Chain A
Amino acid sequence: MNQPELAVLDQVDVFSYLAADPLFTETQLHTLAGLADPAQVLHDVAIDEAAPLGRRYAAIEAAVQGGWSAWMQRDADARVVASVLAHGLAQDDIHNRWGLPGQFVGPTGHILVGLSAGVRDALEPLLSDRRPLEIFGSQAATLQRANKYRISDLAGYLLAQHEHVSWQDSADPAVRDDSNARLRGQREPQHR
């Protein structure tokens, strides 16, 4: 990371982002826009396996927020982005940006769901992650405490949205687990 402009990627608190405002301020985006080729530079950061997850995650968010994300349409890059985002989901302190199972897909959830490749491979490992979601707000937080959604539920819901298949929301976690089990079984044969 030899361009000083990229320092803004490390300045944002990417894992504690409430999604009430854009992750990057206008000033920060302006700084990134000063790069010779923002799309290429952010792409290079996002696919750099040696870079910290937070920085790669921030590069993806910056690319989308700044309109420099056309490269994500390439399947090879989409697979990498899906993997980085799924790892980010698993490490996030706040999950509003991803969505709430059975209710809505959040802004970052939309990035992941809209990718052309790699989404199932990225989310499948999370289908057994039983850690609770951290959801803020009014109705969202109320529903989260009532239903006790977990990362596995969010992963299943997002995967179902990506594959345009149904996912059974329920206050009963066992029903949601069944939905996730069915999702696993729907893996296309060539991907087994």
Chain B
Amino acid sequence: MTRLVSQKLPPTPVRLTLGARGSFVGAYRIIPRLKGVMMSYDLRESRGESSDPGRVNAGTSGTVGKTTLTDALYGNDAQKQAGDAAAGEKQAAAGHKTNGGNFVFSKYDAVDSDPGKDSRKTCGIDITILFTPAKAVVSDQISFVQIMKADKGGSPLLFPNEKPRATEAKDGDAGWAVDRLAGNKNADYQIGNDGKEVPGWGQIGHRKSDADVRDATLEDGVRLPRDAGQTFKVQATSFALDKTNGTYLGGVAWGYDVDAKGKMIKTPESIQSMGDPAGIQKRALERWNEQAKHPDKTKRNHDDQQPIKVP
């Protein structure tokens, strides 16, 4: 049963019960706004870290049988609930449908440590993206691959482990790199060196049958320093990858801009690709694979860095 709440409720966490099994995927915070309903998704419950002590470990797998997050969101009741929402918000809430599934930005919040001020400060984004595979997809493992570019005052900002794999000017646009923390061997965003999902980075999805579907999720909390008088731009593209079949299922774009006066603007969420990564994103995947074969292992992301599928 899906239980929905009125948008007149105060901004306190409420829960959606998903699926006949009664397991929880997460808790929603529904906040009344002038137009529409802003929803943010709290994955703590899906990790068994509920803010409600009585519900610790209520849901640990995120697998809810036939029902997925987007099923719950866009069922009949949800459609009624969103009936008066502005078109843009409806589009965001409905997600971004690609050839391989549907992406929903369940959290997409700008972070500015000194809002609107031209100062040395920290800016970033808190984001959670959920991907529900389409019915045509049959896969044991669906990951995210994120490709990002940070531009500080007009020059790419790259950490030491990213420099050997970043695209260069001769590639068409310098500074794009697979977003992967140093010391990790896989390009898949939420998969650790042991092949398991890493709490805090998201969950691995699958669609084994109509009755066994699990959303893939990506959680990111970008934080980067911005100096006074400096422009700053982050462009991110997040692709869903069916690892079983080696197929990209589409991708979405997001990011933020800070102008020279310190004003931060969140980039509107959008579809980046209906299927495969192309252009500079594809080149960034190739660059990851080149890094994986670097004869100097200290230049790799990990000694045993694994190649990623390039379409």
Contacts and interface: CB of A to CB of B under 8 A. Distances in A.
Interface of A: 16, 18-20, 94, 96, 100, 103-104, 106-107, 135-143, 145-147, 171
B264 to A, nearest CB: 16
B179 A171 contact: no
A139 B146 CA distance: 10
21 contacts: A20-B158, A96-B159, A104-B181, A104-B182, A104-B183, A106-B182, A136-B223, A136-B225, A138-B146, A138-B220, A139-B179, A141-B222, A141-B223, A141-B224, A142-B219, A142-B221, A143-B201, A145-B200, A145-B221, A146-B199, A146-B200
Of A107, A137, A138, the most chain B CB neighbours within 10 A belong to A138
B221 A19 contact: no
Contact of A139 (B124, B152, B157, B180): B180
B72 to A, nearest CB: 25
Given A20-B159, A96-B159, A145-B221, A140 B199 contact: no
A147 B146 CA distance: 21
Interface string B107-147: 00000000000000010100000000000000000000010
Nearest to A142: B221
Interface string B144-174: 0010100010000111110000000000000
Given A96-B159, A107-B160, A139 B181 contact: yes
A19 B220 contact: no
Contacts of A104: 161, 181-183
Given A106-B160, A141-B124, A147 B200 contact: yes
Given A137-B159, A138-B146, A141-B223, 16 more contacts: A18-B225, A20-B152, A20-B159, A96-B159, A100-B183, A104-B181, A106-B182, A136-B223, A137-B222, A138-B181, A138-B220, A141-B224, A142-B200, A142-B222, A145-B200, A145-B221
Contacts of B199: 146, 171
Nearest to B148: A138
Contacts of B159: 19-20, 96, 137
B248 interface: no
Contacts of A19: 159-160
Nearest to A103: B183
Contacts of A147: 200
B224 A94 contact: no
Interface string B189-217: 10000000011110000000000000000
Contacts of A143: 181, 198, 200-201
A140 B160 contact: no
A103 B182 contact: yes
Contacts of B183: 100, 103-104
A138 B160 CA distance: 14
Contacts of A20: 152, 157-160
A19 B224 CA distance: 12
Contacts of B219: 142
Of A106, A137, A140, the most chain B CB neighbours within 10 A belong to A137
Closest 5 pairs (CB-CB, A-B): A146-B200, A104-B183, A104-B182, A141-B223, A139-B181
B272 to A, nearest CB: 17
A96 B223 CA distance: 12
